Amino acid sequence: MVRTRFAPSPTGYLHIGGVRTALFNWLFARRHGGQFLLRIDDTDQQRNVEAALAPILHGFRWLGIDWDEGPEVGGPYAPYYQSQRLPQYQAAVDKLLAAGLAYRDFASPEELQTERQAAEQEKRPFLYSRRWMAESEAEAKKFAAEGRSGVVRLKMPREGKLVIPDLVRGEVEFEWAREQDHVVQRADGSCLYHLASVVDDFDFQITHVIRAEEHLSNTPRQIFIAQSLGYPLPEYAHLPYVAEPGSKNKLSKRKLDKYLKNRDFALVNEHGLAIAQAIGLATAADAFNPVIVDFYEQVGYLPEAIINYLMLLGWSLDDKTEFFTRRQMIDNFSLERVTKAPASFDPKKLWAFQDHYMQQLSTEEKVERMLPFLVKAGLVQETDTVAARQLLSKIVAAAGDRVKVAGDILAYADFFFLADDAYPFDAESFEKHLKKPEAAERLRRFRERLAALSSFDVQSLERMMHEFLEAEQIKIGAVIHAIRVAVTGKPVGPGLYDCLAILGKEKCLKRIDRALGQMA
């Protein structure tokens, strides 16, 4: 039975790198018919754990990463919050102490610092002298009487080697003598991550610890704890971390300013920001950017695209397969094919996956995803969605692949929903196409033919246009841009005949008249 876990801290946001780690855990569990669980690392004793956790759980659900045990779903080993498992940690510490594999240490931070500096000066690796180690109650009392406070340290082996079998890295060797006597319990009685993590993994019956590479160096002390407690060791797999755009540094939310200097990252960011603004979303930079999953949901990306992209960050099936259904991901995932080197986050490539998956959607599916954006932007009344859906359906069909994320519908099609006297004219295009000397007269003549048209469908419009061009002795390029700007206000958009047909004769005439008015 395979059991994997992901252990988020309740920080209030779901980080894209964390999702990749969680995804691999999830995939591995699903691949082997096992369970994937969520454990909450809230040893920091934050106040609003629930509030800070909600966006994270929401993000996982949105992405389709479900958990078999953990917050909100419970499970046989509940609770899954570290803050609620203090007694278990205390019991582990007691057991370690009783077995002589940990000790109370009464050294002051200054004394420790002095030893550390001495080692540094002599250019030898630092190893605590254990001078203030208390192995008996009497010793402990003596130190305490001196006014010292104690922590609990691991009594690590000082000779021999440890070989860690790692499912992605092979065998990794450590010398015990290089390992410090790490603190597992603070003076105030609270326990540290490594102890808690090992105890949890055992209690929750985790079989495979799949986590980021930064934990590889910490593994010896965890193994020591596990072995000291008599736990069987889980399998380990250390994944390369997700790196910054165009760099090998670990991706972190803190260095947003730096990422914004990356052209592609900035582009994706701005594009999302524009949509967020159009729907009136508050966008604090540290809570809304391409490093955070919520960004993608709010802007209208598809979870399939994110997941497919992330799966290929540090994993590949072969030399050609790029697209995977959820089923195919599960069926093909293996830790053996995880890459060893860090993989940098490339927003442009994510964009390409988004483009692909958007194209796979039917018109109805797109409408479903885009309508909420129109409502949020105030272009469609919530009470009016039946009519809006009908109109939107035509627009979506006409817009084709131009709409990359659901939120793009705003920029591409807002003019359909705005009043005939309220859609804005793009200043530059207006200048370029409608300020020409012959433009007004020509537009007027086009308007006459439009007005005379009996059926207002794409074919008729196209036929009429050709007759018009014949009569005017001009090429289409000489007039079509002017018409587009007059009717839509924009230099780009769906095919012009589509735009005209969707708007209908009456609106088209009104809009041309408005443009004519502005030109005069």
At its nearest, how many Å lie between RNA and the CB of residue 23?
13
Q: Specify the residue, 36 or 265, whose C-beta has the smaller distance to RNA.
A: 265
Query: Tokens 């992209």 identify what position?
Result: 309
For 319, residues 6+ apart whose C-beta sits below 8 A from its C-beta are none
Report how far residue 326's alpha carbon sits from residue 340's, in angstroms, rounded to the nearest whole number: 24
What residues does 172 pair with on adjacent strands? 164
Cis bond upstream, residue 79 (ω within 30): yes
Is 197 within 8 Å of 224 (Cβ atoms)? no
394 has catalytic annotation: no
Q: Specify the residue, 68 or 213, whose C-beta has the smaller distance to RNA.
A: 213
At its nearest, how many Å lie between RNA and the CB of residue 215?
6
Q: Specify the residue, 283 or 481, whose C-beta has the smaller distance to RNA.
A: 481
Q: Specify the residue, 257 or 382, whose C-beta has the smaller distance to RNA.
A: 257
Per the structure block, which two tokens stand in for 60? 């996982």
At its nearest, how many Å lie between RNA and the CB of residue 56?
13
At its nearest, how many Å lie between RNA and the CB of residue 227?
19
- The CA-to-CA distance between both ends of the chain, in Å, stands at 78
> Three-class SS string for 293-305?
HHHHHHHCCCHHH
E strand or H helix that includes residue 264? helix 263-278
Q: Specify the residue, 144 or 281, whose C-beta has the smaller distance to RNA.
A: 144
At its nearest, how many Å lie between RNA and the CB of residue 384?
27
What is the chain's Cα-based Rg? 32
Per the structure block, which two tokens stand in for 337? 């094919």
Nearest C-alpha neighbor of 107 from the set 181, 190, 195: 181
Q: Specify the residue, 126 or 423, whose C-beta has the smaller distance to RNA.
A: 126
Nearest C-alpha neighbor of 84 from the set 117, 40, 47: 40
At its nearest, how many Å lie between RNA and the CB of residue 51?
18
Nearest C-alpha neighbor of 21 from the set 209, 202, 197, 193: 209
Q: Which of 253, 255, 394, 510 is catalytic?
A: 253
What residues does 166 pair with on adjacent strands? 170, 236
Q: Which residues are catalytic?
A: 253
